[in-house]
């Protein structure tokens, strides 16, 4: 498992502000951000406008933010899958809620580990106070 290759692939696929939180014993945990492009934001806004009559809490919290979150989860999942296949490792991730003040990005925590390791992602997150 090559840390620099994993980080490079994440950067190449559009994840930004990558921060290594844990790098030991075949386990790599990183924080990164998925930045939505203009097309993704426009699609989310269009969907929200169809579902809600006006820009309101419902517009954002019930429609736009969930749409963006689902989009990010799908795209980050594709990134993780590609890294797993290329590096022959295991990987998991979790996204956090979109910040209403900055909904152009979403925070994600990713864990990559050697195939033969049995590490619980939730336990690692707790150890890191995340």
List the domains of the chain with CATH numbers. 3-127 (3.30.980)
Is the pLDDT at 25 greater than 80? The verdict is yes
Buried b / exposed e along 52-90 (16+ C-beta atoms within 10 A): beeeeeebbeebbbbbbbebbbebbeebbeebbeebebb
pLDDT at 28: 96
pLDDT at 106: 98
CA 116, CA 122: separation in Å to the nearest integer?
A: 18
Is the pLDDT at 52 greater than 90? The verdict is no
pLDDT at 72: 97
Strands (E), 8-104: 15-24, 27-35, 89-95
Nearest-5° angle of CA 112, CA 37, CA 60?
A: 95
Is the pLDDT at 58 greater than 90? The verdict is no
Q: Which helix (H) or strand (E) holds 109?
A: strand 105-114
pLDDT at 38: 96
pTM: 0.90
pLDDT at 50: 87
Q: What percent of the chain has pLDDT over 70?
A: 99
pLDDT at 118: 85
Is the pLDDT at 83 greater than 90? The verdict is yes
């Amino acid at each position: 498992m090559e840390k620099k290759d994993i980080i490079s692939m994440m950067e190449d696929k559009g994840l930004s502000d990558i921060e290594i939180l844990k790098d030991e014993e075949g386990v790599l945990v990183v924080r990164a951000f998925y930045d939505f492009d203009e097309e993704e934001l426009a699609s989310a806004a269009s969907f929200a406008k169809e579902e809600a009559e006006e820009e309101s809490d419902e517009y954002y919290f019930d429609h736009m933010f969930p749409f963006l979150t689902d989009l990010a989860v799908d795209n980050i999942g594709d990134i993780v899958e590609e890294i797993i296949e290329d590096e022959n490792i295991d990987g998991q991730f979790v996204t956090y809620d979109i910040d209403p003040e900055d909904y152009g990005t979403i925070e994600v925590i990713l864990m990559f580990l050697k195939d033969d390791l049995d590490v619980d992602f939730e336990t690692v997150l707790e150890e890191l106070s995340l």
